[in-house]
């Protein structure tokens, strides 16, 4: 059975990261797919003549057609095995990758082995050597991030309750230049915004972010195909950085930040243990002071301060910050309801009615809500935090619903008052008896439009009789008008009912199934 194709969003992410100079081995964990899959899609893009950035007019459907044309017939040629010892020596040189060495190998031997075989064979050969190799961190390439195991205490000034704050730590690979900031939680928003604060602190962006498998950033930890959350992935795309989750239970993958966390705990949090803080801002101001001291301190194993190494190595190698500020957004998955609305925090936003019951992706920011279907934006609304309310665009409604779109609570009452006090009272009762007033708009509008057919005087009289007999529906008022009951005196009818009431109570029929008034007392 053929493997399921990736979404166009993930394929675009692969092309973007590859354009940034990452190898397929590094792209795979960042996107959450296998390395072989990455190589396959990069090869398809190259064969289709596509490169990042993609043309603006190339939508998801056109991209899929370009990437998946009819398969070409395979070609065969002579095979020559590489000199693995020479390959291993070249891999120790700065900036050299297996992809570059494979390209040079294929240039010398056009009929040679493919990239997948080349990588697998080299790993098999190198696996016979010492399994432990010291990591090297080129300048500006990697930022290691994690949360400290220790927390900081903040006292609520109003209640005196002692609250705990989490401490985020980020360390640059080449210079060990360190950043730390406190937040209330390790949740998605605090996690993402801590990255944004770190990039601002460093004044630039690395090429890769190496993170632990924190649930806020990685929804499915995996040795080969971890899944990055949509919000975390969107942040990475904004700053053009690759997310590289570490392997599960492999602390050596992020040894740099493990040491950085230990240094922050000993040189910052331990020094703050006897101080009292009454706000998060006050705590972060104290952390910033000690952080400047930590980065300016000359250490024996580095031979210089972290700040000096940062100015010498990482500062010039980091890429500039984006011109457009980052806006935090959460991605949700929703299914369109039967009323062609999707729910976000108990508020309902409309989408085109043709998408009933379809799954959609919802991007939520502080000011707006965007809805996407198969990669295309189909709706955009201003954020409304009122609960149990609807935000509806007329273009999203079926034609049979649009005629009620411009009616509001105030307009309905105004139209009813123009007919008469009984019509206004009827409309007010109908909307009051509904859980939401909007649910009675159709009934009220229908009743008011009966005035065009029967006249406003008769409609006012019909509403008077409807109030007397407890009628609260369009059908009841229409029936009163059709049968001419509105022409009868409502007052005389009421008086007649009052006059007959005592006699009726006194002369009820004698029957075993009739309870009588004594039953209720």
Is the pLDDT assigned to residue 492 strictly greater than 50? Answer: no
In a domain, 510, yes or no: no
Tell how far CA 366 is from the center of its chain: 12
pLDDT-derived band at 496, boundaries 50, 70, 90: very low
pLDDT-derived band at 48, boundaries 50, 70, 90: confident
pLDDT in tens, 107-135: 888 878 888 888 988 888 777 654 443 45
Is the pLDDT assigned to residue 375 strictly greater than 90? Answer: no
Is the pLDDT assigned to residue 436 strictly greater than 90? Answer: no
pLDDT-derived band at 249, boundaries 50, 70, 90: low
What's the pLDDT score for residue 516?
52
What's the pLDDT score for residue 159?
87
Q: Please tell me whether residues 277 and 367 are part of one structural domain.
A: no
Q: Please tell me whether residues 297 and 180 are part of one structural domain.
A: yes
Reading the block at residue 247, the tokens are: 């392997």
Peptide bond into 220 cis (omega under 30): no
Q: Please tell me whether residues 301 and 372 are part of one structural domain.
A: no
C-alpha triplet 214, 324, 235: angle, nearest 5° = 15
pTM above 0.95, yes or no: no
Distances in Å between the Cα of 503 and the Cα atoms of 139, 287, 500 are 101, 88, 5
Mean pLDDT of all residues in 281-310: 86
Distances in Å between the Cα of 249 and the Cα atoms of 209, 212, 362 are 18, 9, 34
Residue owning tokens 């009421």? 494
What contacts 48, CB < 8 A, 6 or more positions away? 66, 67, 69
Range with the poorest average pLDDT among 21-25, 101-105, 454-458, 507-511: 507-511
Per cent of the chain over pLDDT 90 is: 26
Q: Please tell me whether residues 176 and 157 are part of one structural domain.
A: yes
**Do residues 135 and 105 touch, judged by C-beta distance below 8 A?**
no
**Average per-residue pLDDT for the chain:** 80
Is the alpha carbon torsion for 485, 489, 493, 494 positive or negative? positive
In a domain, 73, yes or no: no
Which span out of 210-214, 373-377, 486-490 was modeled with the highest average pLDDT? 373-377
In a domain, 134, yes or no: no
**Do residues 13 and 233 touch, judged by C-beta distance below 8 A?**
yes
Q: Please tell me whether residues 54 and 27 are part of one structural domain.
A: yes
Residue 128 burial (C-beta neighbours within 10 Å; 0-12, 13-18, 19+): exposed
What's the pLDDT score for residue 493?
44
Is the pLDDT assigned to residue 147 strictly greater than 80? Answer: yes
d(C-alpha 88, C-alpha 68), whole Å: 35
What's the pLDDT score for residue 94?
52
Is the pLDDT assigned to residue 259 strictly greater than 90? Answer: no
Which domain does 88 fall in, by range? Answer: 84-125
Range with the poorest average pLDDT among 189-203, 282-296, 426-440, 475-489: 426-440
In a domain, 386, yes or no: yes
pLDDT-derived band at 368, boundaries 50, 70, 90: very high
Residue owning tokens 């801590």? 194
Q: Which long-range contacts (CB under 8 A, 24 or more apart) does 485-491 make?
A: 486/454, 486/458, 486/459, 486/461, 486/462, 487/458, 487/461, 490/461, 490/464, 490/465
What's the pLDDT score for residue 281?
93
Domain boundary among 284, 317, 350: 317
Q: Please tell me whether residues 169 and 313 are part of one structural domain.
A: yes
In a domain, 519, yes or no: no
Distances in Å between the Cα of 203 and the Cα atoms of 170, 193, 237, 316 are 13, 15, 18, 10
Distances in Å between the Cα of 499 and the Cα atoms of 138, 189, 489, 494 are 100, 71, 15, 9
**Of 34, 28, 24, nearest to 119 (Cα)?**
24
d(C-alpha 398, C-alpha 338), whole Å: 12
- DSSP 8-state secondary structure symbol assigned to residue 334: E
Task: CATH number of the domain at 151, please.
Answer: 3.30.420.10
In a domain, 322, yes or no: no
Q: Please tell me whether residues 414 and 398 are part of one structural domain.
A: no
- DSSP 8-state secondary structure symbol assigned to residue 438: G
Higher-pLDDT residue of 77 and 359 is: 359
What's the pLDDT score for residue 130?
45
In a domain, 313, yes or no: yes
Instruction: Give the ranges where 455-510 is alpha helix by DSSP (H).
Output: 456-469, 474-483, 490-506
Q: Please tell me whether residues 89 and 162 are part of one structural domain.
A: no
Is the pLDDT assigned to residue 330 strictly greater than 60? Answer: yes
Mean pLDDT of all residues in 225-229: 68
Mean pLDDT of all residues in 444-465: 91
Q: Please tell me whether residues 221 and 300 are part of one structural domain.
A: yes
Is the pLDDT assigned to residue 225 strictly greater than 60? Answer: no
Mean pLDDT of all residues in 436-458: 81
Is the pLDDT assigned to residue 391 strictly greater than 70? Answer: yes
Q: Domains in the chain: how many in total?
A: 5
**Do residues 242 and 236 touch, judged by C-beta distance below 8 A?**
yes
What's the pLDDT score for residue 246?
75
Residue owning tokens 């008896």? 433
Beta bridge pairs of residue 179:
170
Domain boundary among 370, 402, 434: 402
Instruction: Give the ranges where 343-455 is alpha helix by DSSP (H).
Output: 399-402, 409-419, 421-433, 441-454
Q: What are phi and psi of 333, to 5 degrees?
A: -110, 125
Q: Please tell me whether residues 382 and 428 are part of one structural domain.
A: no
Is the pLDDT assigned to residue 7 strictly greater than 70? Answer: yes
Is the pLDDT assigned to residue 53 strictly greater than 50? Answer: yes
Which span out of 90-104, 298-312, 396-410, 468-482 was modeled with the highest average pLDDT? 468-482
In a domain, 76, yes or no: no
What's the pLDDT score for residue 239?
93
Which span out of 190-199, 267-276, 309-318, 484-493 was modeled with the highest average pLDDT? 190-199
d(C-alpha 189, C-alpha 489), whole Å: 67
Q: Please tell me whether residues 195 and 312 are part of one structural domain.
A: yes
Is the pLDDT assigned to residue 286 strictly greater than 90? Answer: yes
Per cent of the chain over pLDDT 70 is: 79
Residue owning tokens 């000034």? 157
Q: Please tell me whether residues 305 and 344 are part of one structural domain.
A: no
């Amino acid at each position: 059975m053929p493997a399921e194709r990736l979404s166009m969003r993930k394929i675009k992410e692969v092309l973007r990261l590859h354009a940034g100079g990452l190898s397929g081995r590094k792209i795979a964990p960042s996107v959450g797919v296998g390395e072989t899959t990455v190589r396959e899609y990069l090869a398809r893009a190259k064969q289709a003549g596509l490169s990042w950035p993609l043309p603006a007019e190339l939508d998801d459907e056109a991209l899929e057609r370009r990437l998946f044309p009819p398969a070409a017939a395979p070609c065969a040629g002579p095979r020559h095995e590489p000199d693995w010892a020479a390959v291993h020596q070249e891999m120790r040189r700065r900036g050299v990758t297996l992809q570059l060495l494979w390209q040079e190998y294929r240039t010398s031997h056009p009929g040679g082995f493919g990239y997948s075989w080349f990588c697998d064979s080299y790993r098999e050969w190198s696996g016979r050597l010492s399994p432990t190799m010291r990591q090297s961190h080129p300048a500006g390439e990697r930022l290691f991030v994690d949360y400290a195991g220790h927390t900081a205490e903040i006292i609520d000034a109003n209640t005196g309750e002692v609250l705990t704050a989490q401490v985020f730590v980020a360390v640059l690979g080449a210079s060990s230049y360190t950043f730390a900031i406190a937040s209330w939680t390790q949740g998605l928003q605090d996690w993402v915004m801590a990255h944004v604060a770190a990039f601002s602190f460093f004044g630039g962006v690395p090429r890769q972010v190496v993170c632990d498998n924190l649930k806020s950033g990685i929804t499915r930890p995996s040795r080969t195909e971890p899944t990055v959350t949509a919000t975390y992935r969107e942040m990475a795309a904004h700053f053009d950085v690759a997310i590289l989750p570490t392997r599960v239970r492999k602390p050596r993958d992020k040894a740099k930040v493990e040491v950085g966390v230990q240094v922050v705990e000993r040189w910052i949090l331990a020094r703050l243990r006897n101080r009292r803080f009454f706000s998060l801002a006050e705590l972060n101001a104290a952390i910033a002071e000690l952080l400047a001291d930590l980065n300016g301190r000359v250490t024996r194993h580095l031979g210089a301060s972290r700040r000096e190494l940062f100015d010498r190595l990482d500062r010039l190698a980091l890429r500039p910050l984006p011109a457009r500020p980052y806006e935090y957004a959460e991605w949700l998955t929703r299914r369109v309801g039967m009323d062609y609305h999707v729910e976000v925090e108990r508020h309902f936003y409309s989408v085109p009615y043709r998408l009933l019951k379809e799954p959609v992706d919802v991007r939520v920011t502080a000011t707006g809500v965007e809805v996407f279907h198969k990669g295309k934006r189909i709706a955009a609304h201003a954020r409304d935090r009122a609960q149990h309310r609807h935000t509806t665009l007329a273009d999203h409604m079926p034609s049979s619903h649009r005629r009620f779109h411009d009616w509001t609570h105030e307009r309905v009452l105004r139209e009813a008052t123009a007919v008469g006090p009984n019509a206004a009272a009827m409309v007010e009762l109908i909307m009051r008896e509904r859980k939401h007033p909007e649910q009675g708009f159709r009934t009220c509008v229908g009743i008011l439009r009966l005035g065009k057919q029967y006249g406003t005087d008769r409609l006012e009289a019909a509403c008077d009789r409807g109030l007397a007999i407890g009628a609260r529906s369009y059908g009841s008022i229409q029936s009163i008008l059709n049968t001419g009951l509105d022409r009868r005196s409502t007052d005389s009818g009421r008086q007649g009912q009052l006059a007959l009431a005592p006699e009726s109570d006194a002369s009820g029929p004698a029957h075993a199934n009739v309870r009588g008034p004594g039953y209720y007392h």
